[in-house]
Chains A and B, each alone.
Chain A
Amino acid sequence: MDTGREDFYIQPKRDASLGALVEIDGFSKVYDGSDVKAVDGLSIRIDEGDIFGFIGRNGAGKSTTIKCLTGQLPYKDGTITVCGHDVNREPIEAKKRLGFVSDDHAVYEKMTGRQYVNFIADVFGTGDERNERIDRLKKQFSIEDAFDKYIGSYSHGMKQKICLIASLVHEPDVWVLDEPLMGLDVVMMRQVKQAMADHAAKGHAVFFSSHNLDVVERICNKAAIIDRGKFLGVIDTAKFRRSGVGTLEEYFFRLTGEGDETF
């Protein structure tokens, strides 16, 4: 594997004074009862304006990393900070800066869409500004008609939309999404990509995991690669595209030793 030698790889910076929104340094995770590291030595930095992709195959450690970042899973090795707040030591302060969309879109189905979004806005302390944001996001994700219906009656796609709206209502510094593009139709995929671009343009950051390497290559400015728990590096996607090594998908397969079959 040629990690680090290509010039599209970003060398790690460890200067916290430069104000990274997310700093993951030497993070490793071993599940109880296992000897295998689910994540090994991950170090990434997410800055303002970044749309940061996190790519790897199933079971590579992407969801584990995201769960530790968002406070769902405990960890012992390494540090994860969000806007300067250590997730282990100051979990509440760290979580206040995050907006999270899970891969299974778990949501309170006995609530209406509006009630759920307002619940999330309440716990994040969002004031009257929620009204304008909710109206804008409802329109942006085309869910105006169903917004006051019970979430239990929603389709899969509508539940995803509610989760997206709820995660953005408090304008988080870092928007974290776990496999957000899975199962989306072409219209909704465009809506999500636009929302990511809008969020980053406001000086915030987006961090998401995905199997869709084409989309990551096109919309992200940075992408971290992880394979079987091992962190392989962060690439600058603009430099990658100029490098001529091929598509990100082809490069990923070469990097991870998956062979060179072509379709």
Chain B
Amino acid sequence: MKLFNVLLKKELLTQLMRGGGKKKDALGYIVTTLISLVFLALFVYLFVAFQSKFEPLNLVDETLTLFVAAGIIAQIIFSVSKAGAVLYGGADAKVILPLPISNLTMLAAKLAALWIKEIINSAFFILPVFVAFGIMRSLGAVYYMLAAAAIIIASLFVVSVSAMISPLYVKVKNFLLKKPYIILAASLVFLAALFAVYSRFLSVVSDMLIGNRMKFIFNKNVADTLRVIAKYAFFAKQLTDFAGGSILGFIIVLFTAAAFFAGAYFISSRFYLSYLMAHAAGRTKAARERPNKERGVTATLINKELTEIFRNPSYLFSYLSVLLTLPLFCYLSVGVLNELVVNLIGGDFLIPFALLITVMFSCVCNTGAGDVISREENKIMIVKTIPVSYTRQIGVKVGIALVIAGISDLLTVFALLFSGTLGAGACAMLFLITFAATAASVMNLVSKDIKNPVVASGAENSNVSVAVVRSLIVSFAMGAVCFVLHGIDVFFTYSGSRNALLTAAYNFTQAIGGVYGVLAIILALCVIDAAVAAFRLWNRAEDKMKKLGI
């Protein structure tokens, strides 16, 4: 028992700890927490909205069941990879294998630590639903205590299912890691499907807020279908019954979770040792001999950067998923948001929305390119000792990032142009503004990276968080200015109001050329921002890199 406690403490420390390094990414934590709270609030809002819409159709309990089931499924999806990494990742293989620790004890400690982590994670997936339901029904303290117990049992179920699926997940992942193009293709298909669902989701939210077309969603046929689906969500149903005070529900969920845990322990014990030893052995197959290839200095630097990107699944994903999914994402978001505003306010705001969405997501999605120095990690030694100027080396890194950003932005405006969302003139302006803003963002980020690199492997990089926040502020500011000035135009045209202030504002917008004049001013500001960022990056770049001590 003592050994189990020691191992459990070690697992909790290693599983709950985030990265190394002295500099903690405080801004990153804040941004992540805020975004999580926003999604949480949205989730609860949807639950409450669905409850109120389905109440006339006698679908209250089923709604709770379905939301809890959805939360459990989401939690399982998110925890499979973590379970795989903890149980079969082999990070501690060389440390654990020589020690006098039974594999079963080690496994039990790992599963227990995963369970504790899942209880914390359920605060985002299942707890909000229970709490929202309790508030809506004005339920007492007993309900909340039972709900808390339900969450603990649900977490055991989640970790058990994740652990059972994870050997297969790890096998598939290890296979795909050797074939990065398959990962890329699959990720892009998944992302495209996700964005299509997201677009539909936005439509539903839009309908909910407007309230006119909900009857097409919340009708008897849909209610009957949901009732049938809820019947199959057996575990979730019993969980909600237990939270409602059902002893039978408690017995069923407890025994179900315990049975799944026993199954997970049995399956994991079959695979754990073999995966651990495979990590310790680390054999590879023979490779075919290839000829030596000679390249010029710039070409070889480009080749090196592209090799690092294409052979690293996470870099490949962050660069190329941006390239190919940003256009789809922007096109869907712009269309749906504009439809929402047209219905709520009246008047077309496509250009301001396109500006806001495209600039924001282009800047935010391209922050992955901004840790080009940090990502060298201990290989910064190579950067510093090869006889190539730092200006050229940084130029290649930044150049590749800007080419990818440029292609992505071009595809985005093509999507808006050929779908008929925006005209050619607006698309051309949008591309130039977006590319200039993205270029400024990337170059600012690289400057920060040179000034404060995070070369320790696994350490947090707060530069990216700062860049994300800057990009959000800049894009919102642009979108807001464009929205307001275009709004004056729309309001003046459609409202018929002719008070002095509105007329003066309208005359001002006409004087600067209407919305295209606004875009031209924004473009000029973005170009200046990019020029300043370029100066900040290249000015004395050699000295800055020279001072980058290691």
**A residues within 8 Å of B by Cβ?**
31-32, 67, 70-74, 91-93, 95-96, 98, 100, 102, 104, 106-108, 110-112, 114-115, 118-125, 127-128, 130-131, 134, 145-150, 153
Kindly state the separation between the CA atoms of A149 and B288 in the bound complex, as whole angstroms. 8
- Judging by beta carbons under 8 Å apart, are B288 and A148 in contact? yes
- Judging by beta carbons under 8 Å apart, are A118 and B307 in contact? no
Kindly state the separation between the CA atoms of A76 and B549 in the bound complex, as whole angstroms. 13
B residues less than 8 Å from A32 (CB atoms) = 549
- Judging by beta carbons under 8 Å apart, are B294 and A91 in contact? no
The tally of CB-CB contacts under 8 A between chains A and B is 103
A residues less than 8 Å from B297 (CB atoms) = 122-123, 125
B2 within 8 A of A: no
- Judging by beta carbons under 8 Å apart, are B379 and A123 in contact? no
B residues less than 8 Å from A124 (CB atoms) = 386-387
B23 within 8 A of A: no
A227 CB → nearest B CB, Å: 23
**B residues within 8 Å of A by Cβ?**
282, 284, 286-290, 292-297, 299-301, 303-304, 307-308, 311-312, 377-382, 384-389, 546-547, 549-550
- Judging by beta carbons under 8 Å apart, are B307 and A108 in contact? yes
In this complex, the member of B287, B293, B380 whose beta carbon has the largest number of chain A beta carbons within 10 angstroms is B287
CB-nearest residue of chain A relative to B390?
A: A91
- Judging by beta carbons under 8 Å apart, are A112 and B550 in contact? no
Q: Which of A118, A148, A153 contacts B294 (CB 8 A)?
A: A118
A residues less than 8 Å from B303 (CB atoms) = 119
Q: Which of B284, B384, B388 contacts A149 (CB 8 A)?
A: B284
CB-nearest residue of chain B relative to A145?
A: B286
B residues less than 8 Å from A119 (CB atoms) = 300, 303-304
List 18 interface pairs A-B (beta carbons < 8 Å), by A numbering: A67-B550, A72-B381, A73-B550, A74-B546, A95-B385, A95-B387, A106-B382, A108-B307, A110-B307, A112-B290, A114-B290, A115-B307, A122-B295, A127-B294, A134-B292, A147-B289, A148-B287, A150-B284
Known A74-B546, A91-B546; judge A120-B386 contact (CB<8 A): yes
A residues less than 8 Å from B388 (CB atoms) = 92, 123
A residues less than 8 Å from B289 (CB atoms) = 147-148
Q: Which of A74, A108, A127, A146 contacts B304 (CB 8 A)?
A: A108
Known A67-B550, A111-B307, A148-B290; judge A95-B386 contact (CB<8 A): yes
Query: Given A72-B385, A91-B546, A119-B303, 11 more contacts at CB 8 Å?
Result: A74-B547, A106-B377, A106-B379, A106-B382, A111-B311, A122-B295, A122-B299, A127-B294, A149-B286, A150-B284, A153-B282
- Judging by beta carbons under 8 Å apart, are B300 and A123 in contact? yes
In this complex, the member of A72, A111, A115, A124 whose beta carbon has the largest number of chain B beta carbons within 10 angstroms is A72
B residues less than 8 Å from A71 (CB atoms) = 384-385, 546
In this complex, the member of B284, B294, B303 whose beta carbon has the largest number of chain A beta carbons within 10 angstroms is B294
A65 CB → nearest B CB, Å: 14
Q: Which of B282, B294, B312, B546 contacts A130 (CB 8 A)?
A: B294
Kindly state the separation between the CA atoms of A125 and B298 in the bound complex, as whole angstroms. 11
